Amino acid sequence: MLTFNIPVFWLLFGAVGLGVMLGGVATWMRQGRFRKEARVQRREANQLKHEADSLRKVAQGDIAPGLPAPDHKKAA
């Protein structure tokens, strides 16, 4: 017959550790949709920020819409 002779507190530590690991994995899996939505929103916010920056430059007259940015090097 197979028997083990270990202190009970090691069993308790093992059970607590296993519970923490399983709880962490379950929480991580349930929050996946929120992480995905955050990625989508962050991507959209960055895209809108770049668009607003380019429109701000056009409004300030730095560049004309649809044209490449001017080369600010002076001809010698």
Listed by start position, the domains of the chain span 33-58
pLDDT band at 69 (very low <50, low <70, confident <90, very high): low
CA 31 to chain CA mean position, Å: 13
Instruction: Say which range, 16-20, 46-50, 51-55, has the weakest mean pLDDT.
Output: 51-55
* Confidence check: pLDDT of 29 > 50: yes
pLDDT at 74 over 60: no
Rg (CA), the chain: 29
Widest CA span in the chain: 95
pTM score = 0.53
d(CA 6, CA 8): 6
Confidence of residue 76 (pLDDT cuts 50, 70, 90): very low
